[in-house]
């Protein structure tokens, strides 16, 4: 039987969390469904200066943590699950997820957007092996190495400056001969001695030996190709991609009106379907910023509450989640890794995580659940790469989160970054616990 709510919010970025806060304050039985991690794309931003009331040295991670606590304070429920199908045809809207099905009188779509890829050969293969879309998550791996940042907008230039705190040198790969970033950001960038610019350039191929150590760059004016190799002593370099985002709206095609992949709404966040709203970066709008996403979420929740009051329907009872006590995983370090992992009998799963890595923090409870279920059939360990960076690099782990299964000292399978979802980890574990 489907669990019922007044409002179901799809996505836990700034728009979804603001909607959850306003839904909870309106005494609506509200649920946020998030696929992977709270915050969406804002968590990869190392510094936020344009959100009103931000504290000093505010980052995407710190802002989202406070937003999530505020939504939770007002009784907004949250689950981590993947939405597979929606049905908006009736008074009760149906949201079908992998683990559970939910019904709601109103739905707010705050699905956000996902990082746009370069699209060149080798990019997918070396994601988490030198290619990254999150400076906050992966910058520490490249301390004293060279790094290339792709993009010329606000986010790309801000993240390039953040990476100069770690990398020996940062090269900004810009498609045109000018930056698109705000003038105040450009001024800081041009004054940074560790940052230089490769104008009219695009990366057309990425290769390496386990880790990225070679790429081909094309001059967009002359067509000339230049091969770039890692410093011989380094043996690798990093590529961070910040070239925009694509709306995560494919699931809603044919369900609500769209324009070029973005959901069409009026200024009250209402779609063409009564009781269905959209907020944040997934809707048609001119300015996509944290402050506008939060405003969208507040308006959407307020309108949804009014819509539900008009329906004059009885309120659903809040769903009480039953929390299962989790077993502790064995945390290994540089002194115990060889004995506990490489020399261990049978299959061993290692959850590579890092301090301040929001995707790692979001995934870890799911890994603990899997360990609780299969811990008697497979060994489960975790390793903090912030404290054991060289060990992680030696294991060719350059992106977080990374989930690796070992046997007899060798890797047998690995999930990296976006591929390391709770569902994928469970499927991988279940494949090996059945083997003798």
53-64 residue pLDDT tens: 777 778 778 888
pLDDT over 90 at 360, yes or no: no
Domain locations along the chain = 3-114+246-311, 131-241, 330-433
The overall longest dimension of the chain from CA atoms, in Å, is 70
pLDDT over 90 at 326, yes or no: no
DSSP 253-298: BTTB-EETTEEP--TT-B-SSTTEEE-GGGB--S---HHHHHHHHH
Which pLDDT band holds residue 266 (cuts at 50, 70, 90)? Answer: very high
Tens-place pLDDT, residues 134-180: 887 789 999 999 999 999 999 899 999 999 999 999 999 999 999 99
- The mean pLDDT of 356-363, rounded to a whole number, is 82
- The mean pLDDT of 276-294, rounded to a whole number, is 91
Tens-place pLDDT, residues 302-311: 999 999 998 8
**The CATH number, out of the four listed (3.40.30.10, 3.40.640.10, 3.30.70.1730, 3.10.20.90), of the domain defined by the range 330-433:** 3.40.30.10
Tell me the three state secondary structure of residue 66. helix
Q: How much is the pLDDT for 45?
A: 63
87 in active site: no
97, 137, 282, 381: which one is catalytic? 137
Q: How far apart are the first and last CA of the chain?
A: 38
376 in active site: no
Across the strands, what pairs with 34? 80
- Residue (of 246, 290, 205) closest to 113 by Cα position: 246
pLDDT over 80 at 415, yes or no: yes
pLDDT over 90 at 416, yes or no: yes
- The mean pLDDT of 96-121, rounded to a whole number, is 94
137 in active site: yes
The average confidence (pLDDT) of the chain is 91
138, 154, 281, 296: which one is catalytic? 138
Domains 131-241 and 330-433 share a fold: no
pTM for the whole structure? 0.69
Q: How much is the pLDDT for 135?
A: 86
pLDDT over 70 at 47, yes or no: no
Tens-place pLDDT, residues 362-406: 888 899 999 999 999 999 999 999 999 999 999 999 999 999 999
Cis peptide before 87 (omega within 30 of 0): no
Residues in Cβ contact with 357 at an 8 Å cutoff, skipping those fewer than 6 apart: 136, 137, 400, 401
134, 282, 360, 381: which one is catalytic? 134
Residue, of 9 and 38, whose pLDDT is higher: 9
Residues in Cβ contact with 196 at an 8 Å cutoff, skipping those fewer than 6 apart: 169, 170, 171, 172
CATH superfamily of domain region 131-241 = FAD/NAD(P)-binding domain (3.50.50.60)
Which CATH number is 3-114+246-311 given?
A: 3.50.50.60
């Amino acid at each position: 039987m489907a669990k019922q709510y007044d409002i179901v919010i799809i996505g836990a970025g700034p728009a979804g969390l603001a909607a959850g806060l306003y839904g909870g304050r309106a005494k609506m039985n509200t649920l946020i469904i998030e696929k992977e991690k709270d915050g969406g794309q804002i968590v990869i931003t190392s510094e936020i200066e344009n959100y009103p009331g931000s504290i000093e040295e505010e980052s995407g991670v710190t802002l989202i943590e406070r937003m999530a606590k505020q939504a939770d304070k007002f009784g907004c429920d949250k689950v981590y699950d993947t939405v597979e199908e929606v049905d908006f045809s009736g008074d009760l809207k149906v949201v079908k997820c992998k683990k559970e099905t939910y019904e709601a009188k109103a739905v707010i779509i705050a699905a956000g957007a996902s990082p746009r890829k370069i699209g060149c050969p080798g990019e997918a293969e070396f994601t988490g092996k030198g290619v990254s879309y999150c400076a906050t998550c992966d910058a520490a791996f490249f301390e004293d190495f060279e790094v290339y940042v792709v993009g010329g907008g606000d986010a790309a230039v801000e993240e390039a400056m953040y990476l100069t705190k770690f990398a020996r040198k940062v090269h900004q790969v810009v498609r045109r001969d000018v930056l698109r970033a705000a003038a105040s950001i450009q001024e800081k960038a041009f004054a940074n001695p560790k940052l230089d610019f490769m104008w009219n350039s695009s990366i057309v191929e990425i290769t390496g030996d386990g880790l990225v150590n070679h790429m081909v760059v094309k001059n967009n004016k002359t067509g000339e190709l230049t091969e770039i190799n890692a410093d011989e002593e380094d043996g690798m370099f990093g590529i961070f991609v910040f070239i925009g985002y694509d709306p995560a709206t494919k699931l809603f095609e044919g369900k609500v009106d769209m324009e070029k992949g973005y959901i069409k709404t009026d200024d009250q966040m209402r779609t063409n379907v009564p009781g269905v709203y959209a907020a944040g970066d997934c809707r048609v709008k001119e300015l996509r910023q944290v402050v506008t996403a939060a405003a969208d979420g507040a308006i959407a929740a307020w309108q949804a509450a009014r819509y539900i009051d008009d329906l004059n329907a009885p309120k659903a009872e809040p769903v009480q989640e039953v929390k299962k006590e989790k077993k502790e995983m064995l945390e290994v370090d540089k002194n115990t890794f060889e004995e506990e992992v490489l020399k261990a009998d049978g299959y061993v799963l290692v959850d590579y995580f890092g301090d301040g890595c929001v995707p790692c923090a979001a995934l870890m409870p799911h890994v603990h659940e899997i360990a609780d279920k299969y811990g008697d059939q497979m060994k489960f360990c975790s390793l903090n790469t912030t404290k054991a960076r060289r060990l992680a690099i030696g294991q060719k782990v350059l992106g977080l989160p990374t989930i690796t299964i070992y046997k007899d000292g060798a890797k047998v399978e690995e999930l990296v970054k976006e591929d390391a979802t709770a569902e994928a980890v469970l499927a991988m574990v279940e494949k090996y616990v059945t083997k003798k």
